[in-house]
Amino acid sequence: MATQKPDLADVSRRFLNMLLREREVRPRAHLIAERAAAVVPDGAAVVYLLETLDDSPYWVAKALIGDIHMEEAFAPFESGALGVLGAERKPVLRQSANLVREDYAHLHTSRTVVSLACVPIPNDEELIGAIEVLSFSGAVDRDDVTQLMEIAEQAGAAFVSARAYEDERNTHLSSISRLAQLYDLEKVFNSTLEMDALLPIIASKFREVLDVQAVNIWMVKDDSELLLMSQAGEDPTVSEGAALRAGEGLVSEVSDSGEAKFTADPADPYLVQRNAGLEEPRIFSLMAAPLMVKEEEVGVVEVLNKQNGIPFDDDDLFFLISVAETAAAALNNAALLQAERKVEILETLVKVSTEITSTLNLDRVLHAVVTMPSAVVGYERAAIALEERGKLRLRAVSGMDEVQAGDPDVERLRELLDWVSISSGPLHISQHENEINADREETRAKFERYFAESGMRGFYALPLADDEGRVGVLCFESSDPDFLSEAHTEMIRVLAGQATVALRNASLYTEVPFIGVLEPFLQKKQKFLAMEKRRRALLLVVCAAAVLFLAVFPIPMRVDGDAVVEPLRSSQVQPAVGGVISKVYVHEGEHVSQGQILADLQDWPFRAALAVAQAKFETANLEMSRALAANEGTEAGMQRVQADYWGSEVERARRRLESTHLRTMINGWVATPHIEEFVGRAVKAGDTVVEVADNSETLVDVAIPEQDVNLLRVGESGALKLDSSPTRTFHGKVSIVSPKAEAQGDDRFFYARVTVPNPAGRLLAGMHGRGKLYVGWRPVGYVLFRRPAMWIYSKLWSWFGW
């Protein structure tokens, strides 16, 4: 019984249906190759598309079916039967009688080829590819060629639409890639607000993203001049620090007009002038764009020569403009920070000036000069040495209450200042790596040894002198060699002038008070000697009894200060993601347990993100499975990467969804007022939504003056009176004495933290009152006169300095 041939119309219809299901070139080429190989008995087929490689046309194989293979996936346009087809634009048929190996030299097979046919794949009048069919057991006849021509016509339309789809997809991918680059640039540019660090980052990232030879960042100096502040890559025509005036070339034109421009003509007069006297490589293409923020020009970015040798075009200029907007915003933020720092420097200078001119206390002046500039200057140690009796004496060092004589660091610094005092002007020495910036060999040797011993890498000193002579030396040190900017040095020079006047006045004042102190005592002595003898004796007995009482009779001694109630523990519940509060489950004053959900954020965006990520993950897995089934290794690998990426996105989306539940980390009471009214409020990540305070036991901070802090001991008892309960006394124990003072005006206080049981919850955070802390039994005189005695002693010490 003869085998019935399948209906060709039905086969063609199924073939077209399968072809339409695939959207890309290679899957369609594979289906066309299978269909073409099925036309001839025991056949093999190759589907080619014409592509240009290295400015020459090639037949690029997109699919192979049967017992054949190719060493390379392309063949020259003139190769064998394909070359004949390309020249004549007609089908080529070779039977065994007139078939030679050169007709299919680009193909390799272990079987004997009986017949070969090549048919063109047309698109209207244009040749876009070819189908090459080989038969190993039977001849290919004209009917077979006719069927192959029909398949080729269908393939032409299929490949044109597939290429259009891939071009559109690649365009979208390119757009996404550029968006990703812009996002990455924005993150990098906003990673720092330091202008000196930001400019090199912007220049290098511009060069990296645009793939160009060099990038120059010009910053506006004034209305008529630009300065080259940063450079990335090699530009032999200009170097950092160069100035550019109005009317001097393309960059100036861009700065004046505010419009981006490019030139791709090597014969452009500006490029000819720029390349004058240069050997290769020369500038053959250049573009520039203004850095604008709210219609204000910050500078101009200049880009030279694409690395691939192709001149710039409109697309490159558009991308440069887009990137320039992000860079301009970052530079504007850095400029605002610089301006803010200048304001801070001026404010600090005013504070220091006010402090040192409002007192004649020498110690206070010295302390202000060495400590207060640290608010804006990043030094690690400052010191002042004063001229006393012809010798330089180190009087103040930041971080030290008193200058410790015999300390190795202090002695090393004193010796250096003694050597530096010879200089008549400021001395600025820094060490980068092993290089010390000093003009004299003696200076380099001196500071090489000093930096090695002290660990410092930057030193700045200047003399304090006025019309009457030298007052002393002021110095600043840091382990950062670049700790001083130009603004900092200007501030220090002004400060040195003010400090010189203040120190001169304070030094003179310390020599005058002896007359004022001794004169009242002499007057009292004269009055006492003028009294009657009995009255003098009675007065002496009373005074002796008073002194004995004050020196012997003990009373409990307490130190007191303002008290503020703080919870023992508190926790601020903050969302990890931004959003809108959808539900609140607690009220102010309600007790909550650790891990309890206090509020929820609207989670639909995160649920949607999770659903999208899961869908993408499943789609990528399906595409990977399909590619593996079709034996498309490259496509399967790409889809595997996509599946891994979307798998991680699914896990990330789950974590973000879980973070919409706001939980407390401790047991306690809700301290946020009107929290139930927070529903509908938009919050950012890190904003405090709920505060939970544990008031089962409270800490009361009692501010103790610095002259009393040495009397405090951990474990001593304390009594507290609060403004809210004036008739009740609360008792507790001192648990902590703060190791650091806090300034309040001219005074400094240490905080003694008293732990007070609070089972009834009467003590609430924020309550104020007065606290008294027991420090033991002391004589009456000690209790009454301790503070005046300490004040007198400090004055005497400052006057005589023993």
Give me the percent of the chain exceeding a pLDDT of 70: 91
Give CA–CA dist 349/157, Å, rounded.
Answer: 79
CB-CB contact of 62 with 29 (8 Å) = yes
Q: Which residue has the tokens 């409002």?
A: 358
> Is 4 a residue whose pLDDT tops 70?
no
Least confident range from 333-347, 393-407, 519-533: namely 519-533
SS (H, E, C) 427-463: EEEEEECCEECCCCHHHHHHHHHHHHHHCCCEEEEEE
Q: Read off the amino acid at residue 781.
A: G
Q: How far apart are the C-alpha atoms of 52 and 67, rounded to whole Å? A: 28
Cβ neighbours for 431, distance < 8 A, ≥ 6 positions apart: 437, 447, 448, 451, 457, 458, 481
pLDDT score of 174: 57
Alpha helices in 192-259 (DSSP H): 195-210, 250-257
CA 411 remoteness from chain centre: 41
One-letter amino acid for residue 493 of the chain:
R
**Over residues 661-684, mean pLDDT:** 80
Amino acid sitting at position 364: R
Could you give the angle at the alpha carbon of 463 between the alpha carbons of 460 and 468, nearest 5°? 170
Model confidence at 254: pLDDT above 90:
no
The whole-angstrom separation of Cα 323 and Cα 417 is: 51
Q: Which two tokens mark 264?
A: 């791709």
Q: Token digits for 382?
A: 């400052």
197-201, 213-217, 261-265, range with the lowest pLDDT: 197-201
Cβ–Cβ < 8 Å for 149, 32: no
Geometric angle at alpha carbon 590, from 585 and 592, rounded to 5°: 75
Per-residue pLDDT for 244 more than 90?
no
Q: What is the DSSP letter of 4?
A: P
Q: Evaluate if residue 569 carries a pLDDT over 70.
A: no
CA 791 from centre of chain: 50
Distance between CA atoms of 361 and 505, rounded to whole angstroms?
Answer: 9
Q: Please enumerate, as own/partner, the contacts of 309-318 that have beta carbons within 8 Å and a separation of 24 or more.
A: 309/284, 311/264, 311/284, 311/285, 312/262, 312/264, 312/285, 312/286, 312/287, 313/262, 313/264, 316/210, 316/262, 316/287, 317/260, 317/261, 317/262, 317/287, 317/289
Task: Give the 3-state secondary structure of residue 130.
Answer: strand
In whole angstroms, how large is the CA radius of gyration of the chain?
A: 44
pLDDT band (50, 70, 90) for residue 5: very low
**CA angle (419, 424, 429) in 5-degree steps:** 60
Q: Is residue 479 within 8 Å of 485, Cβ to Cβ? A: no
Contacts of 761 (CB under 8 A, 6+ apart): 669, 695, 696
- 610 CB-contact burial (10 Å; exposed 0-12 / middle 13-18 / buried 19+): buried
Residue whose tokens read 């200078």: 349
- Which position has the token pair 């090639």? 58
> Does 263 score more than 60 pLDDT?
yes
Indicate the helix (H) or strand (E) that contains 347: helix 314-357
Q: How far apart (Å, rounded) are the C-alpha atoms in residues 477 and 459?
A: 5
What local confidence, expressed as pLDDT, does residue 519 receive? 47
The pLDDT score that the predictor gives to residue 47 is 93
Cα 681 from Cα 231, distance rounded (Å):
47
Pick 530 or 72 by higher pLDDT.
72
Buried-state track 77-97, b at ≥16 Cβ within 10 A, e below 16: eebbbbbbbbeeeebbbbeee
The closest of 116, 128, 114, 159 to 50, measured between CA atoms, is 128
CB 195 within 8 A of CB 286: no
Kind and range of the H or E element at 657? helix 633-658
What residue spans of 236-280 are helical by DSSP H?
250-257, 269-274
Let me know how long the chain is.
802
Q: Which two tokens stand for residue 34?
A: 């299978």
CA diameter of the chain: 163
Helices marked H in 403-554: 408-420, 441-454, 486-511, 513-529, 533-552
- In 66-138, where do the E strands start and end? 74-76, 92-95, 115-123, 126-135
Beta strands in 365-405 (DSSP E): 381-388, 391-397
Residue 513 has pLDDT above 60, yes or no: no
How far apart CA 221 and CA 225 sit, in angstroms, is 6
Closest CA to 202 of 308, 294, 328, 297: 328
CA distance linking residue 321 with residue 289, whole number of Å: 6
Task: Tell me the average pLDDT across 607-620.
Answer: 79
How many H helices and E strands in the chain? 17, 31
Mean pLDDT of 522-536: 74
Q: In the 8-state DSSP scheme, what is residue 611?
A: H
Residue 641 contacts residue 622 (beta carbons within 8 Å): no
Phi and psi, residue 784, nearest 5°: -80, -35
Asked if residue 281 has a cis previous peptide bond (ω within 30° of 0), the answer is yes
- In 602-724, the DSSP E strands lie at 661-663, 668-670, 682-683, 690-705, 717-722
Q: What is the dihedral of CA 33, 36, 40, 46, to 10 degrees?
A: -40
pLDDT (tens digit per residue) in 43-56: 899 999 988 877 78
Specify the DSSP element, H or E, that contains 337. Answer: helix 314-357
Query: What does the alpha-carbon distance between residue 231 and residue 390 come to, in Å, rounded to a whole number?
Result: 53
Pairing relationship of beta strands 725-737 and 747-757 according to DSSP bridges: antiparallel
Helix (H) or strand (E) holding 59: strand 56-65
Average pLDDT over residues 582-604: 80
- Cα of first residue to Cα of last residue in the chain, in angstroms, is 131
| pLDDT over threshold 80, residue 381 | yes
The structure's pTM equals 0.38
> Considering only CA atoms, which of 225, 33, 198, 266 is closest in space to residue 130?
33
Name the average pLDDT for the chain: 81
What backbone torsions phi and psi does residue 628 show, to the nearest 5 degrees?
-65, -40
Question: In whole angstroms, what is the distance from residue 753 CA to residue 564 CA?
Answer: 10
- The pLDDT assigned to 129 comes to 92
Asked if the model's pLDDT at residue 450 lies above 50, the reply is yes
Exposure of 109 in the CB half-sphere (CA atoms within 13 A): 22
Cα separation, 215 vs 204, whole angstroms = 8
What's the pLDDT band for 137 if we cut at 50, 70, 90? confident
Higher pLDDT, 278 or 479: 479
pLDDT-derived band at 162, boundaries 50, 70, 90? confident
Residue the block writes with tokens 């006057």: 799
Place of tokens 């004796």: 537
